[in-house]
Amino acid sequence: MLERLNTESLPRLPADVEKPAYDRSRLTPGIVHLGMGAFHRAHQAVVTDLAMQASGDLSWGILGVSLRSPATRDALEPQDGLYSLALRDAGPEGQPREQLRVVGSVLRVMVAEEDPNAVLERIAYPQTRIVSLTVTEKGYCHEPATGYLRWDDPDILHDLANPDRPRSTIGILVYGLALRRERGLPPVTLMSCDNLRGNGDTLRNLVLAFALRVDVALTGWIDTHCTFPNTMVDRIVPRTEDGDRERINHRLGLEDAWPVVGEPYLNWVIEDKFAAGRPAWETQGGATFVRKSAPYERLKLRMVNGPHSALAYLGAVMGHSTIADAVNEPALRRYVEDMMRLEIGPTLKGIPDVGLEDYRRRFLARVANPALPQRAQQVAMDGSQKLPQRLLDTIRDRMRNGDDTNLLCLAVAAWLHYLRGEDEQGGRYAIQDPMAPALARLLRRADVAAQAAAPSQAAHRRAMVLASFKPVFADLGEAQEFVSNLARHLEALRQHGVAQAVGAA
C-alpha cells in the first residue's frame, strides 16, 4: 500500500515531479475560494502556487470552500491540502506525455453545507483580501438569458429567510461581506472565474441586488469599496478517472486521492482592479492583466466554448463518448471549422484573419488531444446556462447585421435534439441541467404542438414552442429567421441523423 501524499512525504517525491520550492509552514491565507472543483485546482490554485514561489510572498494561501459535497475536503484533508496536477499532451510521434507538479497553495477545504457560519467567518477574516469563485454557470442563481437574479430560486428564498445559514453562492458572499463591514474590516475583491459574459459585472449586479434586500447601507458599502474584476480563463480540464489516479500514483510513488488532469495550454486574462492587492499571477506566464477583458472573453466564449458545446451535443447524439472522438469525425470537424470561419469569426471585430486562423487551428488541436480525452457528457451538461453566451449572443449579432446564422442555429438545434436523452444507437443518457424538469416539459409541449399541426407545419410549430422558452432564448424566439432555421435543422436531425444534417447544413 502506498504512503499518502502529505507534508511529511513531500520530500520523497521523484526528482522529475515538480513541487513547491517554498516553506509551506510560512503560508498564510489571503484567498477564500468558492467551488473547489478540478477547474480551480488546475488553473488559479496552481498559478497562485507558482506566483508565491517566484515572488516569495506567502500571504496568498487558499482556503477552499465546497458548497455541498465533502468529497474534495475528504480527499485533501489527509494530504494537508496537497494534490498533483498532471498536464498531458502528445509528443512529436503522437505518444502521450505528462508533466507532474504537486501544488501547495491550498491550506484547507471547508464544506459550506456542514458549517456555513465558518465560511462567513473566513470571508470576514482580516487577512482575506480576495474571494474567488468557480461555481459553474448554474451556481449564480440567475436567469441565463437576462443575467437577473432569480428571486424564486429555492436557495435564494432560503438565504433571505436564514441569514445565519446561507447556502447559495450569492447569499454566502453578501452575508460574509456584511460581517466584514460590521467589524470595520477593509473591503475585498470578488473575482468570478466562470464562463459568464462579463462575469465580474454579472457577479456585482447579483450581489448588489441581493444586498439591497438585506441592508441598503451594506449595498452602498459594497458598491463603493469592493471590486469585481472581469476575467477569462481557458484550459481544458477533464474529469479525473480511476486510470488517471493509478497512473499518477505510480509515478508519484505516493497515493494522491484526488489528482487533477489538464492540458498544458493556459490563458488567464484578468482586469487589474483589486481592492486589497493580489498575488503576482503574471509571473511564470500564468496570467495577463488588462484594463478591459471583454474582447478576450468574447473571443473565448465564441471561438472555444461555442464550438466545444456543438461538438459535445452532436458527438453525444452520434454515440461518441469523448470530444476527441467527435472532432475526429470528418463531417463534424468540417462543420465546426466552417461555423468558426464563416459565422463566428466575422463577429470578432478587430482581430486579424490570420489570428483567428491560428486560434481555430489551436482549438481543434486542443480538443483532439489524444492524451486528454474529455467526456462529451461533461461538456454537454448545464446547456440551459451555457447557450446564451456561447451561441445565442453570436446569433443575435449576426441577425442584427443581416448575416446568415445557418450553422450556428444547427448547434442550437443540436442541444434541443440532445435533450431527448437518446443517441442514434438507442443508448440512453441522463440530462444534467438545473432546468431539466422544465426542459422535459418543454419538449413534451413541442411534441403535442407538432402532432396537432398539419404535417407541413409540424416542424415549424415544434420549433416555435421550443424557441419560446424565455429563460434561455429571451426574445430570440420572436425572430422568424431563427425559428425557421431551428425548424429545418431539428427536422433534419430527427429524420436523417447527425451525419446527414451537418453534411447538408
Confidence of residue 225 (pLDDT cuts 50, 70, 90): very high
Give the span between the Cα atoms of 65 and 104, in whole angstroms. 16
Q: Which pLDDT belongs to residue 284?
A: 80
For 223, the grid coordinates are: 458598491
Per residue in 245-272, pLDDT (tens digit) is: 999 999 999 999 999 999 999 999 999 9
For 272, the grid coordinates are: 487589474
Q: Residue 84 belongs to what H/E stretch?
A: strand 83-90
Q: Residue 33 belongs to what H/E stretch?
A: strand 29-34
> For all residues of the chain together, what is the average pLDDT?
96
Confidence of residue 369 (pLDDT cuts 50, 70, 90): very high
Q: Which pLDDT belongs to residue 438?
A: 97
Overall average pLDDT of the 316-345 stretch: 97
Determine the straight-line distance between the first and last CA of the chain, rounded to whole angstroms: 55
DSSP letter for 424, please: T
pLDDT at 64 over 80: yes
SS3 at position 268:
strand
SS3 at position 397:
helix
Give the span between the Cα atoms of 447 and 490, in whole angstroms. 12
Report CA 241 to chain centroid distance, whole Å. Answer: 19
Give the span between the Cα atoms of 190 and 337, in whole angstroms. 37
Question: Which strands make up the sheet holding 61-66, listed edge to edge?
Answer: 106-111, 61-66, 29-34, 130-133, 189-192
Q: Residue 98 belongs to what H/E stretch?
A: strand 96-103
360, 443 contact by CB (below 8 A): no
SS3 at position 212:
helix
How is the chain split into domains, by residue range? 10-291, 294-504
Q: What percent of the chain has pLDDT over 90?
A: 96
Output the CATH code of domain 10-291. 3.40.50.720
Q: Which pLDDT belongs to residue 93?
A: 78
Place of cell 481544458: 236
Per residue in 407-431, pLDDT (tens digit) is: 999 999 999 999 999 999 999 999 9
280, 47 contact by CB (below 8 A): no
- Residue 44's nearest CA partner among 112, 99, 88, 105 is 105
Which pTM was predicted?
0.94
Confidence of residue 71 (pLDDT cuts 50, 70, 90): very high
Q: Which pLDDT belongs to residue 350?
A: 77
- Residue 221's nearest CA partner among 230, 208, 209, 210 is 208
- Residue 74's nearest CA partner among 248, 258, 261, 259 is 258
- Residue 293's nearest CA partner among 177, 440, 427, 195 is 195
DSSP letter for 344, please: I
- Would you mind telling me the total number of residues written for the chain in this entry? 505
| String of DSSP letters for 59-78 | --EEEEEESS--HHHHHHGG
Give the span between the Cα atoms of 405 and 58, in whole angstroms. 50
> Where does residue 399 rank: exposed (0-12), middle (13-18), buried (19+ CB within 10 A)?
middle
CA-based radius of gyration for the chain: 23
Q: Which pLDDT belongs to residue 85?
A: 98
Angle at which helices 393-400 and 406-418 cross, to 10°: 150
Question: 294-504 has which fold?
Answer: N-(1-d-carboxylethyl)-l-norvaline Dehydrogenase; domain 2 (1.10.1040)
Overall average pLDDT of the 220-239 stretch: 97
| String of DSSP letters for 132-166 | EE---GGGG-B-TTT--B-TT-HHHHHHHH-TTS-
Give the span between the Cα atoms of 13 and 18, in whole angstroms. 9
pLDDT at 352 over 90: no
493, 310 contact by CB (below 8 A): no
